[in-house]
Copies of this chain bind each other. A is one copy, B any other.
Amino acid sequence: MEIIHDITSCKTCIYRTLLFNSLTPEELDSINKSKREIKYRRGEVISRQGQEIKEFMYLKTGLVKLYRTEEGYKDQIISISKPGDFVTLLSIFSGSNYKYSIAAIEETVICAVRIDSFKAVINTNQAFVTDLLGKMSIMYDGIIETKFNITKRHLRGRIAYILLYFAEHLYENNKFDLPISRREIAELIEMTTENVIRILSEFRRDGIIEIDGKNINLVDPDRIKKICQLG
């Protein structure tokens, strides 16, 4: 990681409207003063499950994964966050320690606000909390829905689902570079690495996708959608 010294002011930050729009100039100033920006390299752990939460964080650029770890079990990826997402929101109000680990899966810049400043605004600004409530709820419900969508499917359907997720939700393009390894895909959709590879190869043999290392091209999205629905 690397602390960025030439940080953006909140007042000109493109993500300001996402959450901080209801803040008074004074509140925004207080947030601005207690924040820092940090750059993480691909693979670096940003925060670890169980650690004390000291900052509220959100993503400016890059991609991160939220995941759970437990001795003796495989890691499980809870969600993938993209710029503008509030990655610490899932832990920050249910206790003083992280419930999930966070790691960068691409080079990532995080904006981090000291937790005391963040909570101070919560106690003074009504609109802000209410807004937060909605954002948090949507985020949680999204995770539950995605997990539901994954576990109800068979392996072929899961792979189809996650390919469409990357194409439609993350990259908005049928051609993209896989941000995560085969093993991480396995951790995300709850199956083994071998079967991820096997089914991807199968899709390639059937001519519905093209693979070159991390680069994926969904040649026949309609058929992938069909597999997603039926498989």
Interface residues contributed by chain A, number (CB under 8 Å): 35
Asked whether A99 lies within 8 Å of B130 as measured between CB atoms, the reply is no
Residues of B within 8 A of A95 (CB): 138, 141
Most B CB within 10 A of own CB, among A68, A70, A143, A144: A144
Asked whether B144 lies within 8 Å of A78 as measured between CB atoms, the reply is yes
Give complex CA distance A133, B129 in Å. 8
Given A73-B152, A147-B147, A190-B151, check contact A94 B129 (CB 8 Å). no
Give complex CA distance A91, B141 in Å. 8
Give complex CA distance A143, B99 in Å. 12
Q: How many copies does the complex hold?
A: 2
Name A's interface SS.
helix
A96 → B minimal CB distance (Å): 11
Asked whether A132 is an interface residue with its Cβ less than 8 Å from the other chain, the reply is yes
Given A93-B137, A141-B90, A144-B78, check contact A130 B129 (CB 8 Å). yes
Give complex CA distance A148, B129 in Å. 29
Chain A residues packing against B (C-beta within 8 Å): 68, 70, 73-74, 76, 78, 90-95, 99, 122-124, 126, 129-130, 132-134, 136-138, 140-141, 143-145, 147-148, 151-152, 190
Q: Which 6 A-B pairs have the closest CB atoms?
A: A94-B137, A93-B137, A140-B140, A94-B138, A94-B141, A129-B129
Asked whether A99 lies within 8 Å of B136 as measured between CB atoms, the reply is no
| Beta-carbon nearest neighbor of A138 in chain B | B94
* In-complex Cβ contact of A136 among B133, B152, B190 (8 A): B133
